[in-house]
Amino acid sequence: MAQETAPAKLLYDVHTHVLFDIDDGAANEGMALDMLRLASERGVTGVVQDEPLLPVEPRPRPRWWLGRRG
């Protein structure tokens, strides 16, 4: 008789502010990585990130963001 395995437990964070220099998210890349590390340690298996509709305060986009859209 085949042994049954437990289904994988998936936990997605669907409201995250991990992108740095975007709205009220992480202040820098190091903080963003720390946030992802902490989420992983607490059992988060995936993160959903989308562009905020309305920024909290207008800020220039970081260099890596420019040219992202055509």
| 16 in a structural domain | yes
Calculate the alpha carbon distances from 20 to 1, 10, 17, 42 in Å.
51, 25, 8, 21
More confident residue, 42 or 69: 42
Question: What integer pLDDT is reported at residue 30 of this predicted model?
Answer: 93
Q: Report yes or no on 37 lying in a domain.
A: yes
21 occurs within a structural domain: yes
pTM over the 0.75 mark: no
In a domain, 3, yes or no: no
pLDDT number for residue 3: 72
Domain range enclosing 43? 12-47
pLDDT for 24 equals 73
Question: What confidence score (pLDDT) does residue 59 get?
Answer: 61
Q: pLDDT tens digits, residue range 26-62?
A: 888 999 999 999 999 999 999 987 766 555 565 666 6
Q: In total, how many domains does the chain have? A: 1
> Is residue 27, in this structure, part of any structural domain at all?
yes
| Position 29 in a domain | yes
**Domain-located, residue 70:** no
